[in-house]
Amino acid sequence: MSLVCTVFKHCVSAMRTNVLIEREGRNDKEFHFQNWFKARLDDLAEHYDEPGRNTYPDFKLVRYTEGYELKGLAYPGRDADYDCNSQLPCGEHNGRQVFYVFGRYPVAPDGNRYPVLDLVVCHGSFLNADNSYQHKNKSFRGFGSYGDILVRDRKMYVAPTPFALADGAAHHRTLILPDDMPVDDDLVEIATLTRREVERMVVAYNFDLRSNTLKTELVPNPNAGKEHVFKAYRMQGDPLTPVTLVERSRGKAEAAYQDLFGVDDEGGTDDE
């Protein structure tokens, strides 16, 4: 059993009745949307482990083997992709199903209380189907003129958001789940979204400290072409505008990232 439908509907109900985000002050740039979601779980009287800065997912439920990872996005602003810091998105972690909660809010509110503008709750496998990858940070010492400088390989992942992956998600409230997951009767199916695995996958990379170039190593994906089917839902009473997968969503997210930071993060491949 899963609580995700109940959580989604409770968030939608709060948005409908204009339950606002309340930030503690202008310096609260990280936890205000998380606190809004936390209040929804409290309303449902659901027990969860208290979130911490380095916990994943943010909220681990006690009665259900599932967790929720929160991503608040300022609008208008960067919403085509997001920084995953040290955890690759996935649909299962330590035996828990993982759901991602994306909410957009005004980029420049005129006070410390403001609305959630739109919402996407999606299963983590919609963002990445692989649950087997184990993230580890590594380091080595020996860099620099005297050979005593430590170099840390601290990976950060940048993944596309549902607003980049699914046209029609913006300005609405949408739930995206694997097609075989049961849902409540008062949720209306609006679309089928099929993601297909790539032909080749990255298994390694090499960074040349002399030329500052990055090369990736690709191998055939054993699951090449495998389809992962998802259903999109809305709550009864909400607009039933359908959503569709965006072609070249990867390019859209990469362009947004480069426009924002003014850098080129493209890596070469082993056969270039």
In this prediction the pTM is 0.89
Question: Residue 262: is its pLDDT beyond 60?
Answer: no
pLDDT for 252 equals: 54
CA pair distance 252, 180, nearest whole angstrom: 29
pLDDT for 268 equals: 47
**What b/e readout covers 129-151, taking b as 16+ CB neighbours within 10 angstroms?**
beeeeeeeeeeeeeeeeeeeeee
CA dihedral 31, 34, 39, 44 (to 10 degrees): -160
CA pair distance 55, 57, nearest whole angstrom: 6
CA pair distance 174, 191, nearest whole angstrom: 10
Using one digit for the tens of pLDDT, what is the confidence trace for 61-73? Answer: 999 999 999 999 9
Using one digit for the tens of pLDDT, what is the confidence trace for 128-164? Answer: 999 888 888 899 999 999 899 999 988 889 999 999 9
CA pair distance 59, 170, nearest whole angstrom: 24
Question: Residue 270: is its pLDDT beyond 70?
Answer: no
CA pair distance 194, 196, nearest whole angstrom: 7
For the ranges 220-234, 236-250, 256-270, the lowest mean pLDDT is seen at 256-270
The residue ranges of every structural domain in the chain are: 4-196+227-265
- Here the contacts of 194-197 (C-beta below 8 Å, separation 24 or greater) are 194/227, 194/228, 194/229, 194/230, 194/245, 195/126, 195/129, 195/227, 195/228, 195/230, 195/245, 196/225, 196/226, 196/227, 196/228, 197/129, 197/221, 197/223, 197/224, 197/225, 197/226, 197/227, 197/228
Using one digit for the tens of pLDDT, what is the confidence trace for 177-193? Answer: 999 999 999 999 999 99
Q: What DSSP assignment string belongs to 9-66?
A: HHHHHHHHTTPPEE-SSTT--SSHHHHHHHHHHHHTT--EEPP-TT-SSSEEESSSSE
Using one digit for the tens of pLDDT, what is the confidence trace for 68-127? Answer: 999 999 999 999 999 987 789 999 999 999 999 999 999 999 899 999 999 999 999 999
For residues 21 and 116, is the Cβ–Cβ distance under 8 A? yes
Using one digit for the tens of pLDDT, what is the confidence trace for 22-74? Answer: 988 776 667 899 999 999 999 999 999 988 777 899 999 999 999 999 999 99
pLDDT-derived band at 254, boundaries 50, 70, 90: low
Computed over every residue of the chain, the mean pLDDT equals: 89
pLDDT-derived band at 196, boundaries 50, 70, 90: very high
